[in-house]
Amino acid sequence: MSLLEKIFRRKKSYDIKEIQEKAESHEPQKILIPSEKPPKFERFCNFSERALKLKAPKSSQEKLRESILMLDIDITPNGVFSATILIFISLFLLALPFFFLDGSMKLLMPFIPFIAAYLVYTYPSFLATVTKIRASDETIKVILYMVIYLRFNPQLENAFSFAAEHCSGPIGKDIKGIIWGLETGQFIDLKRAIGTKMEKWLIWDKEFVESINLILSLSRVGTEDIRKKNLEKALTYLLTSTYEKMKDYSRNLTSPITMIHSMGITFPLMGLVMFPMISIFLHDQMNPLYLAFGYTVFLPLILYFYLKRVISKRPGAFSY
């Protein structure tokens, strides 16, 4: 029994029949890509680059360039760096009057420009990580739809069109762009169109690129048996590599889980025990405001960023 048949057996019968009927009766539809308004972050970065004309440090340019490549937004590393400096200067000037006031605001306001600048500077990396996770989750679905279609119809362009119609994530959007480029004459053939996305797909999931290459090689296959074996191989290769990556990820979760448990459960419980003693012996030296700020704001923020870092390393997953 092939892997594709095993997947079908785990699904409900009407799902199998529906997918098969769609694949057998599929007629390629014209892909329409509406013009979208640039995101606010993109407009802000471009405005900052025109206004300040700063150059990003060489140490951060490559990392920012890789993140921008995965996002398909029209900005540059210099634009991100200029936006970071602009937001820092703007908030620093707005916070300057609070430095002359008494009370807790005087202590908190100096941190706001630094926090905002950090969030702007790391936003492309964060968004690229989220996009990479979504793309990794979508790779199996894209290959599965292509394999299902090619079992009934050997037309590669129609298989990509079929996958694009049923996938709406980052890879589905890229495939829609490929089909649109073929329909409008921007690309001569499918392979050249896919070549424009290969660099980004390699960053997302190199196993997905290998599976795509196996599917593209079907045009050189003569017999039906070899064609079906290559389809099976393309799907099996991606599923196996995804399974291995998830196993490695789960094995490496021991230390992060211990750290999360300590910061999220152990430390707060210890604080409940220690706070009464601190209030008795150090009530003249310890400001309760700092203690409350540390446990209600600072510790949850550290825990949040650590959790985000752990989750960002999660590979795509599947179940069947």
pLDDT at residue 36 in the model: 57
Which helix (DSSP H) or strand (DSSP E) does residue 233 occupy?
helix 224-251
Whole-number Å distance between alpha carbons of 143 and 135: 12
* CA distances, 101 to each of 96, 109, 293 (Å): 10, 11, 19
Read off the pLDDT band of 316 (50, 70, 90): low
Q: Is the pLDDT of residue 288 over 80?
A: no
Q: Which two tokens stand for residue 251?
A: 């094995």
For 70-83, the pLDDT digits (tens) are 887 889 999 999 99
Summary mean pLDDT of the chain: 79
pLDDT at residue 14 in the model: 38
For 132-171, the pLDDT digits (tens) are 878 887 888 888 888 888 888 888 888 888 888 888 888 8
The amino acid at 193:
A
Q: Is the pLDDT of residue 42 over 50?
A: yes
The amino acid at 43:
R
Residues 6 or more apart from 165 whose CB is under 8 A from it?
29
Q: Which two tokens stand for residue 241?
A: 């590599």
Can you give the residue ranges of every domain in the chain?
Answer: 3-28+133-250, 254-320
Q: Is the pLDDT of residue 312 over 80?
A: no
Read off the pLDDT band of 12 (50, 70, 90): very low
pTM, two decimals, is 0.68
pLDDT at residue 19 in the model: 57
Q: Which two tokens stand for residue 199?
A: 């660099």
pLDDT-above-90 percentage for the chain:
8
Nearest to 88 by CA among 124, 55, 119: 119
Which helix (DSSP H) or strand (DSSP E) does residue 246 occupy?
helix 224-251
Residues 6 or more apart from 265 whose CB is under 8 A from it?
none
* pLDDT greater at residue 200 or residue 14: 200
| Beta carbons within 10 angstroms of residue 291's beta carbon | 15
Inter-residue contact 245 to 140 (CB < 8 Å): no
pLDDT at residue 85 in the model: 93
For 191-246, the pLDDT digits (tens) are 888 888 888 888 888 888 888 888 888 777 667 777 788 888 888 888 888 788 78
Whole-number Å distance between alpha carbons of 178 and 158: 12
Q: Is the pLDDT of residue 257 over 70?
A: yes
Whole-number Å distance between alpha carbons of 143 and 147: 6
pLDDT at residue 25 in the model: 54
Whole-number Å distance between alpha carbons of 262 and 299: 11
Q: Is the pLDDT of residue 128 over 80?
A: yes
